[in-house]
Amino acid sequence: MKLFVGLGNPGPKYAGNRHNIGYMALDRIAEDHGFAPWRSKFQGQVSEGKFGSEKVILLKPETFMNLSGQSVGEAMRFYKLDSTDVTVFHDELDLAPGKCRAKAGGGHAGHNGLRSIHQHIGPHYDRIRMGIGHPGNKNAVSGYVLRDFAKADQDWLDDVLRGVSDGAQHLAADDTGKFMNAVALRVNPPRSSTTQPKPKRPPEPAAPKPVPSPTPAPEAQDTRSPMQKLLDKFK
């Protein structure tokens, strides 16, 4: 059994926030793969489903971001899971928008949701880091993550969420390589093999070289005497 956790803040006010991309990822997985309807449990929203023989629990903590670990710890203890059975989907400031990386263990890098999870279950859980970019100033981070994605972000955001959903079955099977390939196929699809390169334009034909005019033959030398020339005029 696996526990997939999506981080975010509850309520319609936060639904479109950058900070809620973890919620969005789990919503996409549940919708695409026919998981059970969401229900309230473990101080959050829970949906259950299967990938093959592997049961997967989706959990969206509703304790607000800073207390996410309470919900995660409660669910983990109920199902008697180890922290290595937990995968957390969260926003990542240090990755460009549209980038996605899988990571096993490590620090919380100042992310309040991860910090709380560290406190309740330790650092040995997997993460799916979903890039949202950085505002460029650390003092602007709070306002940035709590604002909705811009309209210009919708195309790449949809690609990433669909890629995560495509790869969820591989993640449940502990195959992060295939998971990342599934995301890449959505974000950077290969070019169609039927697309032919544009034909090169044939070189222009060379202009014909001008044919030189024939050199006139030199006139025959006149060997007549002046007197003969004069007499010939009166003939």
19 is an active site residue: yes
Tell me which residues of the chain have a pLDDT lower than 70. 192-224, 226-227, 229-235
Q: What is the pLDDT of residue 212?
A: 61
For residue 233, what pLDDT is reported?
Answer: 66
Give pLDDT, residue 122: 96
The predicted structure's pLDDT at residue 218 = 55
DSSP string, 136-176: SSGGGHHHHHTSBPPGGGHHHHHHHHHHHHHHHHHHHTT-H
Query: What pLDDT, on the 0 to 100 scale, is given for residue 191?
Result: 72
CA geometry: angle at 58 spanning 164 and 149, to 5°? 50
What CATH number has the domain spanning 2-187? Answer: 3.40.50.1470
- What are the pLDDT digits (tens) for 211-232? 666 655 555 566 667 667 666 6
Nearest of 143, 141, 84, 88 to residue 113 by alpha carbon: 88
Q: What is the CA radius of gyration of the chain?
A: 38
Catalytic residue among 19, 90, 111, 118: 19
What is the total residue count of the chain?
235
